[in-house]
Amino acid sequence: MKKIKILQGNCIDKIKELDDNSIDCVVSSPPYFGLRDYGTGKWEGGKEDCPHKRLTKISKNTTTGHANMFNHGDVVGDAIYKDICPKCGAKRIDEQFGLEKTYQDYLANTVKVFETFKPKLKDTATIWWNVGDSYHNYRPTNNKQGLYRNPDYPKQSIAGNRQDLAKYSLKRNQRYQEIKEKDLMMIPNRVAIALQEAGWYIRSEIIWHKPNPMPESVRDRPTSCHEKIWLITKNKKYYYDHEAIKEPITDTTAIRLLQKNIDNQKGSLRGNGGMKSNGNMKAMGRKKFDKNIWQNL
Ligand SMILES: C[S@@+](CC[C@H](N)C(=O)[O-])C[C@H]1O[C@@H](n2cnc3c(N)ncnc32)[C@H](O)[C@@H]1O
């Protein structure tokens, strides 16, 4: 039986342990910008027995999910102090991806991860990179630590629920010239452009459609029900088995193909919504295309 080795740690360090020219495929859903804290930070200095946590945020009655985490022996999210613990002065060291101070730092970090695994990729490798988006909610600060006057969670977040939302999501403390309050930040697109500018091939924008999305309480835009997955490559030519992911034809196409006179039929002018320029559309006997909209089953 083939052995599987799991490398656990900061991806920037762990990728370096891999052999050059050894990766066929990268599939990742890295943390999205400023949305979640996975609780992987470590503390330096301060008091050893200090929990570095806001105990007022932890109770059986909290509705943010911390109660559940607490029952499992730990807490995540806004119960953890993010920079310096005000109780003991310990400093938080956090190599977590996604909690960068600005979206520009997030883009730079993404490019850095790609540059780190570039020599490890085979020439034929593909990368499937899932990135979600969020809305910009600027929250002005009113004290030295950068705490928020209004400690509400970002109401426009696509995170879907309040659990684990980063209290100090630093993006909320940044006012950008180019992104206004309430603007969709367009993070997935910025990631793709940053990678393209760094020399990577952006080969497809795949829409991950969620037909049963988490309801959003907003009343001035549609509820978001998709995320993006970028198909990215190092080279123009790479391994891609399009036959393997073709979908079967629908029942109606199968019935159409059973018509006796099919070879003599003119076909339809309406192919591709009337945009087909090289003749009429005829029923096709092969499998359906491998489409760039994927749906949760
Ligand atoms: C959106 S989750 C991905 C979950 C994963 N797809 C799964 O199904 O289990 C992002 C994960 O990236 C991890 N992470 C954050 N920063 C990281 C880093 N620098 N190196 C490696 N993993 C990191 C987080 O701890 C979290 O588990």
Dihedral sign from CA coordinates of 228, 229, 234, 235: negative
> Is 238 a member of any domain?
no
Tokens representing residue 115 in the block = 């540059």
Q: Is the CB of 132 under 6 A from ligand 1?
A: no
Reference 187, options 97, 64, 297; nearest CA is: 97
Which of 36, 40, 80, 131 for a ligand 1 pocket mutation test, highest count of atoms within 8 Å of Cβ?
40
DSSP string, 153-190: --TT-SS-SSTTB-TT-GGGG---SSS-TT-B--HHHH
Q: Are residues 199 and 273 in the same domain?
A: no
Cα(234)–Cα(126) distance, rounded to whole angstroms? Answer: 8
Residues 137/150, Cβ–Cβ less than 8 Å? no
Residues 101/170, Cβ–Cβ less than 8 Å? yes
Q: Are residues 60 and 153 in the same domain?
A: no
Cα(57)–Cα(163) distance, rounded to whole angstroms? Answer: 12
Q: Is the CB of 103 under 6 A from ligand 1?
A: no
> How many Cα atoms occupy the beta-carbon half-sphere of 34 within 13 Å?
27
Q: Are residues 64 and 128 in the same domain?
A: no
Q: Are residues 64 and 154 in the same domain?
A: no
User: What pLDDT digit, counting tens, does each position of 69-117 carry?
Assistant: 555 555 555 556 667 888 899 998 888 888 787 899 999 999 999 999 9
Q: Burial, 11: exposed, middle or buried (Cβ in 10 Å; 0-12, 13-18, 19+)?
A: middle
Q: Are residues 176 and 153 in the same domain?
A: yes
Q: Which residue has the higher pLDDT, 252 or 139?
A: 252
> Is 80 a member of any domain?
yes
Cα(151)–Cα(54) distance, rounded to whole angstroms? Answer: 14
Q: Is the CB of 10 under 6 A from ligand 1?
A: yes
> Is 201 a member of any domain?
yes
Reference 167, options 62, 252, 76; nearest CA is: 76
Reference 130, options 16, 52, 208; nearest CA is: 208
> Is 260 a member of any domain?
yes
Residues 31/99, Cβ–Cβ less than 8 Å? yes
The percentage of residues in the chain with a pLDDT greater than 90, rounded to a whole number, is 36
> Is 165 a member of any domain?
yes
Q: Is the CB of 40 under 6 A from ligand 1?
A: yes
Cα(118)–Cα(21) distance, rounded to whole angstroms? Answer: 9
pLDDT of 134 over the 80 cut? yes
What is the reported pLDDT for 177?
79
**Strand 121-131, strand 42-44: pairing:** unpaired
What's the whole-number mean pLDDT along residues 169-180? 66
Output the CA 273–ligand 1 centroid distance in Å: 41
Q: Are residues 159 and 22 in the same domain?
A: yes
Q: Are residues 47 and 31 in the same domain?
A: no
- On average, the pLDDT of the chain sits at 78
Output the CA 11–ligand 1 centroid distance in Å: 9
pLDDT band at 169 (very low <50, low <70, confident <90, very high): very low
What is the reported pLDDT for 179?
87
Q: Are residues 89 and 101 in the same domain?
A: no
What is the reported pLDDT for 141?
45
What is the reported pLDDT for 240?
96
What's the whole-number mean pLDDT along residues 111-136? 95
What is the reported pLDDT for 171?
47
Output the CA 50–ligand 1 centroid distance in Å: 26
Output the CA 10–ligand 1 centroid distance in Å: 9
Q: Are residues 78 and 172 in the same domain?
A: no
What's the whole-number mean pLDDT along residues 188-210? 97
The H or E element spanning position 202 is: strand 201-209
**Strand 23-28, strand 121-131: pairing:** parallel
Last residue of a domain, one of 50, 72, 93: 93
Question: Which structural domain, as residue segments, surrounds residue 286?
Answer: 251-295
Q: Is the CB of 38 under 6 A from ligand 1?
A: yes
pLDDT of 168 over the 60 cut? no
Domain tally, the chain: 3
Determine how many CB atoms are found less than 10 A away from the CB of residue 154. 21
Strands of 226-233's sheet, edge to edge? 23-28, 121-131, 226-233, 201-209, 293-295
Q: Are residues 143 and 207 in the same domain?
A: yes
Q: Is the CB of 96 under 6 A from ligand 1?
A: yes
